[in-house]
Amino acid sequence: MTGPQPRRRKAPAFATRMTRWTVQTLGLFHRAVTLGVRVAVFDDGGRILMVRHSYLPGWYLPGGGVDPGETAPHAAVRELKEETGLVARADPLLFGFYYNPGGSGRDHVVLYRIGTWEATAMALRPTREIKAAAFIDPHNLPDDVSPATQRRVAELMGLRPIDSVW
């Protein structure tokens, strides 16, 4: 059978490949999203776990950043243990996914709830990063709880609808 043969595509020239790589790489910096986790843990008395950091004023839910190659649920479990000495005994349950405008402009926070946990020998002891960790009555929060943490506690208690902004 004779006739026109399909044209073979040539590999893009080196300059074209480099331009594409540069644009995609720079796009990662321009569109990069940061992701953090926070963890809600309640004790048998209905009190919620909070921490005071050495580098921030006020009380917060335990949490931190998601490391490269790490899943958000794994980061939640890791941060809980690192900051409070509590070990999750069940998978964290997704509670909310929030945009954090106070961060980089592309910052997001995932809030998990951990229902079953166990205290290690180091539970709730101060460290270099955490000045204090304690279970606090969610109906009587300290004055210096961060505003975002106050909103998350109200959401967890069913006292306000879940907002998409941290």
pLDDT by residue (tens digit) across 25-41? 444 455 578 999 999 99
Contact, 101 vs 163, CB < 8 A?
Answer: no
Q: How many domains is the chain built from?
A: 1
DSSP string, 131-159: EEEEEE-TTS--TTB-HHHHHHHHHHTTS
DSSP state of 51: E
Tell me if 117 is assigned to some domain: yes
Tell me if 10 is assigned to some domain: no
Tell me if 4 is assigned to some domain: no
Tell me if 2 is assigned to some domain: no
- For residue 75, the enclosing domain spans 33-156
Residue 50: strand, helix, or coil: strand
Q: From CA 7, how far away is CA 5, in angstroms rounded?
A: 6
Tell me if 12 is assigned to some domain: no
- pLDDT (tens digit per residue) in 86-141: 999 999 999 999 999 987 788 999 999 999 999 999 999 999 999 999 999 999 99
The pTM (predicted TM-score) of the whole model is 0.80
Which pLDDT score, from 0 to 100, does residue 86 have?
98
Tell me if 8 is assigned to some domain: no
Which pLDDT score, from 0 to 100, does residue 75 have?
98
